[in-house]
């Protein structure tokens, strides 16, 4: 057949239409309620428009209409997989405005529970990422086994599995229950083996590598332009981790590495980076358990028998570094007038909180800088010209949590 | 006790109970229709012509009864088995609330599905939408009929469904279900369903070729398309199974055995045979390798054929919601579900008949010994000649050779089913382009090359 005839056949008679398809908000794999308006050419994505806001709960407005004490309990729900971090960001911003100093033991407790929370968050990501790639029934339950242990521990200390309300303005809510520290050290000891287990299933799995290598490459410049933070940014070669670059709390006393992947990262690099981060968090936990002033809660209780748990600030067993809370927690909690911003490194990236207080029992203005929202912005650029199957591989790999996007 | 061991024990107990229920029920139904009812008619004093005609009709109905009883309860068990096995592989408990040990879970699910509203979506093609699950399910019922003869060791009640071109018929029927999927996906008026259906069509076309080529290789070695004959050719021992070259290694093993026993005459005879075929040993080993690879290709193709992970792209949940059956609910969804598991069972039983020796034991003497033992016990029963006496009942119910064959084929088929579940618990899903590339660029050339190699090798052995 003559070339022009073939041309005529393929270009006119076999003309195909693009299909517009609505992925979500009720789609089993959008991690919540994201709506993606996809324009497909066959199996390939030609255009994407993420529609966010289905889970908008006016978190900032609620903060301005509730007392500080009430809002502390609510703020865990913003990012329900890493509640400790949202509480912590708000507590730090409020402490900055108020000028109160968190006692050292309180800071250590914050780091311990947050790093545990970071591990649970990454474990959940690992499990659901397996589901996104189609490992529907096998792999996802292994990370959940360890996550369950951590959640039990977090429940023991805070009273709740996911909405902890444990980190408060001025410190942490309560001392650990008996035997808690021993259980945490037990977990810290066995966890690296468990991570080896996950890696044995996934890292060298040919199908997993085929599905993830070279897929969804996030260029360094693109990531910086969109304000992507967290593991997704570090997998693209930018060593930005607030724990290291602008150490807060007691992170400057701890020895840990921030895993970086050199060059533009694909989904596989982001996976590897998160797995490494879990190992690092475990290492941080181990150091914290050694360094924490006063030792375990059980030892401290023994010491405090001498002074009958007097709770006085100048007592050598109860006060100073050994306190966990510097501000009285009651419904009339007030923050001094002023404004302040503070950011911390959450499992998803930089989580910032901006507060204006007029000195009353409610805030004048709240503003959140949520990592998921900025990370999601880069998604359309990553998806173009990928097949449908890769949408979930890429979307899962940037680890977005929808309530955190919509607030 | 170690909790894992405890759970495995529980799972094994559950499997044994369920399988006894299934096969007991199937055989009881077959016996009632094919043996008991004709005997009753003969004894009732009807005119001879009418009685023999009625018995003939009843006997002809037996395979249909067997399939009609077997498929629903077997699929129900497979769902439960899959859920429990997946739970075992993934550190969970699985369904253990409904009935003892969760034995009735799928029965409860089935009842739930039957009572659900049957929805036809707006804008759907109602006729096609209803026909799709039927077209998807029907072939799996029709397709198992010739396998019945092979699985029951050519039992007289099932002899009528054996075809001289049995495996050809089974494979032809097995490629029909994809039509049902495409119809369902198209008629649903849903874009996800459509994409799933088209994927399924592409996948079925690509993976049917290596699947059929691997079966062709077996037929080539066996020299027949008759499933009963293929199964019978593998009856000697493990080494005569088609996965191990269909007896290619037997003379060499015999040589070693004869050498060890010091039987010089036999050694001489076999050595003479070798002098005629100097390349024989080399060819035999190559042939075994080819056959094992063909078995792997068959399992891969079969997984793709029945849409199991890692080839479950037509219903990829994380991408296409539920693919072609997104819009189905109630009884229609139940039929899709039933058919999927039945198809899995069918491909596994084809594999065990074609590659793993059908109903024959892996070691020589095992089958014969069991048959003789059971036959001896049965003979000692009193009054075995008298009709309707307990002895007659037992003797007509229990056929030693069929029991042995049924045991081995169930064991082999369910081992393959559990292997498929293990794969499901381990692997992520392919992407559609990777799937196509793997099928067309790897599996098909590989199976063609192996087929040509096998054609020459069997001349040399």
pLDDT band at A9 (very low <50, low <70, confident <90, very high): low
pLDDT band at A2 (very low <50, low <70, confident <90, very high): low
CA of B131 to nearest chain A CA: how many angstroms apart?
26
A164: which DSSP letter?
-
Q: Supply the mean pLDDT for chain B.
A: 83
Are B288 and B377 contained in the same domain?
yes
Strand intervals (E) in B73-120? none
Strand intervals (E) in A89-247? 167-168, 171-172
- Percentages helix, strand, coil for chain A, rounded to the nearest 5? 50, 15, 35
Nearest Cα residue to A156 out of A146, A147, A164: A164
pLDDT in tens, B88-107: 888 888 888 888 877 888 88
3-state secondary structure of A41: strand
Q: Which of B91, B316, B425 sits opposite A134 (nearest CB)?
A: B316
The answer to whether the CB atoms of B429 and A207 lie below 8 A apart is yes
Are B8 and B44 contained in the same domain?
yes
Is B90 near chain A, with CB under 8 Å?
yes
Search chain B and give the residue with CA nearest A38: B191
CA of A388 to nearest chain B CA: how many angstroms apart?
7
Identify the pLDDT of residue B426: 81
Are B64 and B177 contained in the same domain?
no
Residue A149 pLDDT exceeds 70:
yes
Residue A382 pLDDT exceeds 60:
yes
The answer to whether the CB atoms of A210 and B434 lie below 8 A apart is yes
Average pLDDT over residues A170-187: 88
Identify the pLDDT of residue B293: 92
The answer to whether the CB atoms of B195 and A138 lie below 8 A apart is no
**Alpha helices, H only, B240-315:** 250-261, 264-276, 280-305
Identify the pLDDT of residue B247: 75
Residue to mutate among A19, A42, A134, A395, with most B CBs inside 10 A, is: A134
The Cα B355–Cα B298 span in angstroms is: 10
Identify the pLDDT of residue A15: 62
Nearest Cα residue to A170 out of A16, A371, A323: A323
3-state secondary structure of A134: coil
Identify the pLDDT of residue A138: 64
The Cα B16–Cα B11 span in angstroms is: 9
pLDDT band at B385 (very low <50, low <70, confident <90, very high): low
For B322, phi then psi, to 5°, come to -145, 15
The Cα A164–Cα A153 span in angstroms is: 11
CA of B430 to nearest chain A CA: how many angstroms apart?
6
Query: Which chain B positions have a beta carbon within 8 Å of A133's beta carbon?
Result: 318, 428-429
Nearest Cα residue to A117 out of A74, A185, A164: A164
Residue to mutate among B92, B428, B435, B437, with most A CBs inside 10 A, is: B428
Q: Of B112, B134, B168, which residue is a domain's last?
A: B112
Give whichever of A128-137, A340-349, B42-51, B191-200 has the largest mean pLDDT: A340-349
Q: Which of B91, B313, B429 sits opposite A133 (nearest CB)?
A: B429
Average pLDDT over residues B409-419: 90
Average pLDDT over residues A319-339: 81
Average pLDDT over residues A223-237: 89
A19-23 β-sheet, strand order: A19-23, A35-41, A44-51
Pairing mode of beta strands A167-168, A35-41: unpaired
Least confident of A172-186, A249-263, B269-283: B269-283
Is B379 near chain A, with CB under 8 Å?
no
Q: Of B64, B96, B112, which residue is a domain's last?
A: B112
Search chain A and give the residue with CA nearest B191: A21
Average pLDDT over residues B36-60: 81
List A344's β-bridge partners, or say none.
Answer: A351
Query: Which chain A positions have a beta carbon within 8 Å of B430's beta carbon?
Result: 134, 207, 210-211
Is B309 near chain A, with CB under 8 Å?
yes
CA of A136 to nearest chain B CA: how many angstroms apart?
7
Average pLDDT over residues B227-254: 81
**Alpha helices, H only, A18-82:** 59-64, 68-74
Residue A221 pLDDT exceeds 70:
yes
Least confident of A336-345, B7-16, B146-155, B343-352: B146-155
Average pLDDT over residues B259-279: 74
Are B289 and B423 contained in the same domain?
yes
Query: Which chain A positions have a beta carbon within 8 Å of B314's beta carbon?
Result: none
Are B23 and B141 contained in the same domain?
no
For B226, phi then psi, to 5°, come to -80, 120
Interior/surface letters B356-394, b for 16+ CB within 10 angstroms, e for the rest? bbbbbbeeeeebeebbeebeeebeeeeebeeeeeebbbe
**Cβ–Cβ pairs < 8 A, chains A and B:** 93
CA of A206 to nearest chain B CA: how many angstroms apart?
9
Q: Of B58, B83, B112, which residue is a domain's last?
A: B112
Are B12 and B94 contained in the same domain?
yes
Strand intervals (E) in A305-400? 338-346, 349-357, 363-369
Identify the pLDDT of residue B446: 92
The answer to whether the CB atoms of B195 and A43 lie below 8 A apart is yes
Percent of chain A with pLDDT strictly greater than 70? 95
Percent of chain B with pLDDT strictly greater than 70? 96
Structural domain total, chain B: 2
Residue A13 pLDDT exceeds 60:
no
Are B70 and B151 contained in the same domain?
no
The Cα A241–Cα A230 span in angstroms is: 7
For B296, phi then psi, to 5°, come to -60, -45
Identify the pLDDT of residue B449: 92
B223: which DSSP letter?
T
pLDDT in tens, B112-154: 888 888 888 888 888 888 899 989 888 888 888 888 888 777 7
Is B89 near chain A, with CB under 8 Å?
yes
Helix axes B250-261, B264-276, angle to 10 degrees: 150
ipTM of the modeled complex: 0.77
Residue to mutate among A138, A145, A383, with most B CBs inside 10 A, is: A138
Residue to mutate among A25, A35, A136, with most B CBs inside 10 A, is: A136
List B5's β-bridge partners, or say none.
Answer: none
Are B167 and B266 contained in the same domain?
yes
- Percentages helix, strand, coil for chain B, rounded to the nearest 5? 75, 0, 25
pLDDT in tens, A110-120: 999 999 999 99
Search chain A and give the residue with CA nearest B433: A387
Is B432 near chain A, with CB under 8 Å?
yes
The Cα A361–Cα A341 span in angstroms is: 18
Residue A137 pLDDT exceeds 70:
no
CATH class assigned to A49-292+327-405: mainly alpha
Helix axes B126-143, B177-187, angle to 10 degrees: 160
What is the DSSP annotation of B132-161? HHHHHHHHHHHHTHHHHHHHTTS-GGGGGG
pLDDT in tens, B174-233: 888 888 888 988 888 888 888 888 888 888 888 889 999 999 988 888 888 888 888 888
Identify the pLDDT of residue B445: 92
Q: Check residues A281 and A301 and name the one with the higher pLDDT.
A: A281
Identify the pLDDT of residue A7: 61
CB A297 within 8 A of CB A156: no
Identify the pLDDT of residue A14: 58
The answer to whether the CB atoms of A136 and B309 lie below 8 A apart is yes
Name residues whose C-beta falls within 8 Å of residue B308's C-beta, 6 or more positions apart in sequence: B344, B420, B423, B424
Residue A312 pLDDT exceeds 80:
no
Identify the pLDDT of residue A64: 87
In A, what residues contact B, Cβ < 8 A?
19, 21, 27-29, 43, 130-142, 145, 201, 205, 207-208, 210-211, 387-392
Hey, what long-range contacts does B346-349 have (CB within 8 A, 24 or more apart)?
B346/B140, B346/B143, B346/B144, B346/B147, B346/B170, B346/B174, B347/B174, B347/B302, B347/B305, B347/B306, B348/B302, B348/B413, B348/B414, B348/B416, B348/B417, B348/B420, B349/B144, B349/B147, B349/B151, B349/B409, B349/B413
Domain of B66 in residue numbering reads as 1-112
pLDDT in tens, B297-320: 999 998 888 888 788 877 776 677
Search chain A and give the residue with CA nearest B193: A21
Residue A323 pLDDT exceeds 80:
no
Residue A176 pLDDT exceeds 60:
yes
What global pTM score does this model have?
A: 0.84
Pairing mode of beta strands A338-346, A44-51: unpaired
The answer to whether the CB atoms of A388 and B319 lie below 8 A apart is yes
Q: How many residues does chain B have?
A: 461
Alpha-carbon Rg of chain A, whole angstroms? Answer: 24
pLDDT in tens, A27-64: 777 777 888 888 888 778 888 888 888 888 888 888 88
Structural domain boundaries of chain A?
49-292+327-405
Are B190 and B214 contained in the same domain?
yes
CA neighbours closer than 13 Å in the CB half-sphere of residue A352: 13
């Amino acid at each position: 057949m003559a070339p022009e005839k073939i041309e005529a056949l393929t270009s006119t008679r076999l003309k195909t239409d693009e299909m517009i398809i609505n992925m979500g908000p009720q789609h089993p794999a959008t991690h919540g309620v994201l709506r993606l308006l996809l324009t497909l050419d066959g199996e390939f994505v030609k255009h994407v428009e993420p529609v966010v806001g289905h889970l908008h709960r006016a978190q900032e407005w609620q903060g301005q209409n509730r007392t500080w004490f009430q809002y502390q309990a609510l703020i865990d729900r913003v990012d329900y997989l890493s509640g400790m971090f949202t509480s912590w960001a708000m507590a730090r911003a409020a402490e900055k405005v108020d000028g109160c100093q968190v006692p050292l033991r309180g800071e250590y407790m914050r780091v311990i529970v947050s790093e545990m929370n970071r591990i649970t968050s990454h474990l959940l990501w690992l499990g659901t990422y397996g589901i996104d790639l189609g490992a529907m029934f096998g792999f996802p339950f292994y990370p959940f086994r360890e996550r369950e242990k951590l959640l039990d521990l977090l429940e023991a200390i805070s009273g709740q599995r996911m909405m902890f309300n444990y980190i408060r303005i001025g410190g942490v809510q309560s001392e650990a229950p008996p035997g808690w520290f021993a259980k945490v050290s037990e977990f810290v000891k066995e966890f690296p083996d468990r991570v080896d287990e996950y890696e044995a299933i996934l890292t060298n799995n040919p199908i997993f590598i085929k599905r993830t290598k070279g897929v969804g490459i996030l260029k360094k410049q693109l990531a910086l332009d969109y304000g992507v933070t967290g593991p997704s940014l570090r997998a693209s070669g930018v060593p930005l981790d607030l724990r290291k670059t602008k150490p807060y709390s007691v992170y400057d006393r701890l020895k840990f590495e921030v895993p970086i992947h050199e060059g533009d990262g694909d989904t596989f690099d982001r996976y590897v980076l998160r797995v490494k981060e879990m190992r690092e968090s475990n290492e941080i936990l181990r150091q914290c358990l050694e360094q924490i002033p006063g030792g375990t809660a059980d030892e401290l209780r023994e010491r405090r028998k001498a002074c009958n748990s007097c709770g006085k600030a100048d007592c050598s067993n109860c006060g100073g570094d050994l306190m966990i809370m510097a501000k009285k927690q009651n419904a009339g909690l007030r923050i001094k007038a002023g404004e302040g911003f503070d950011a911390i490194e959450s499992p998803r990236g930089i989580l910032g909180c901006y507060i204006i207080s007029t000195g009353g029992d409610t805030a004048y203005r709240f503003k959140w800088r949520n990592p998921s929202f900025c990370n999601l912005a880069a998604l359309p650029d990553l998806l173009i010209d990928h097949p449908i199957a890769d949408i979930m591989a890429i979307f899962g790999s940037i680890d977005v949590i929808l309530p955190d996007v919509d607030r | 006790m170690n909790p894992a061991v405890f759970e495995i024990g529980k799972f094994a107990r559950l499997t044994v109970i369920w399988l006894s229920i299934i096969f007991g029920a199937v055989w009881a139904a077959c016996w009632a229709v094919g043996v008991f009812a004709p005997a009753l008619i003969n004894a009732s004093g009807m005119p001879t012509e009418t009685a023999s005609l009625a018995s003939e009709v009843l006997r002809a109905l037996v395979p249909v009864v067997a399939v009609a009883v077997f498929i629903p309860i077997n699929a129900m068990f497979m769902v439960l088995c899959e859920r429990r096995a997946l739970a075992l592989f993934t550190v969970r408990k699985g369904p253990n609330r409904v009935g003892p040990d969760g034995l009735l879970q799928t029965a409860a699910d089935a009842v739930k599905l039957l009572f659900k509203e049957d929805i036809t979506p707006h804008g759907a093609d109602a006729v096609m939408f209803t026909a799709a699950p039927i077209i998807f399910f029907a072939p799996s019922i029709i397709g198992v009929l010739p396998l019945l003869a092979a699985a029951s060791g050519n039992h007289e009640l099932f002899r009528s469904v054996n075809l001289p071109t049995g495996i050809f018929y089974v494979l032809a029927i097995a490629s029909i279900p994809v039509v049902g999927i495409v119809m369902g996906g198209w008629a649903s008026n849903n874009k996800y369903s459509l994409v799933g259906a088209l994927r399924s069509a592409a996948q079925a076309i690509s993976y049917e070729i290596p699947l059929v080529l691997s079966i062709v290789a077996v037929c080539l070695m066996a020299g027949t398309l008759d499933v009963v004959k293929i199964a019978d050719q593998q009856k000697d021992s493990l080494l005569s199974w088609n996965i191990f070259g269909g007896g290619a290694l037997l003379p060499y093993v015999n040589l070693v055995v004869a050498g060890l026993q010091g039987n010089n005459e036999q050694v001489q005879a076999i050595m003479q045979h070798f002098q005629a075929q100097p390349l024989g040993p080399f060819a035999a080993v190559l042939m075994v390798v080819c056959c094992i690879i063909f078995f792997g290709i068959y399992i891969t193709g079969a997984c793709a054929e029945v849409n199991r992970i890692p080839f479950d792209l037509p219903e990829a949940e994380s991408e296409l919601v539920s693919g072609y059956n997104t819009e189905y609910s109630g009884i229609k969804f139940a039929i899709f579900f039933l058919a999927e598991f039945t198809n899995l069972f069918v491909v596994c039983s084809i594999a065990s008949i074609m590659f793993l020796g059908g109903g024959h034991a892996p070691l020589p003497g095992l089958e014969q010994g069991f048959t003789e033992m059971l036959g001896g016990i049965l003979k000692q029963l009193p009054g075995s000649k008298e009709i309707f006496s307990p002895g007659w009942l037992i003797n007509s119910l229990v056929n030693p050779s069929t029991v042995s064959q049924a045991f081995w084929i169930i064991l082999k088929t369910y081992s393959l089913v559990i292997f498929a579940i293990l794969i499901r618990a381990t692997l992520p899903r392919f992407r559609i382009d990777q799937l196509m590339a793997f099928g067309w660029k790897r599996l098909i050339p590989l199976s063609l090359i192996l087929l040509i190699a096998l054609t020459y090798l069997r001349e040399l052995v």
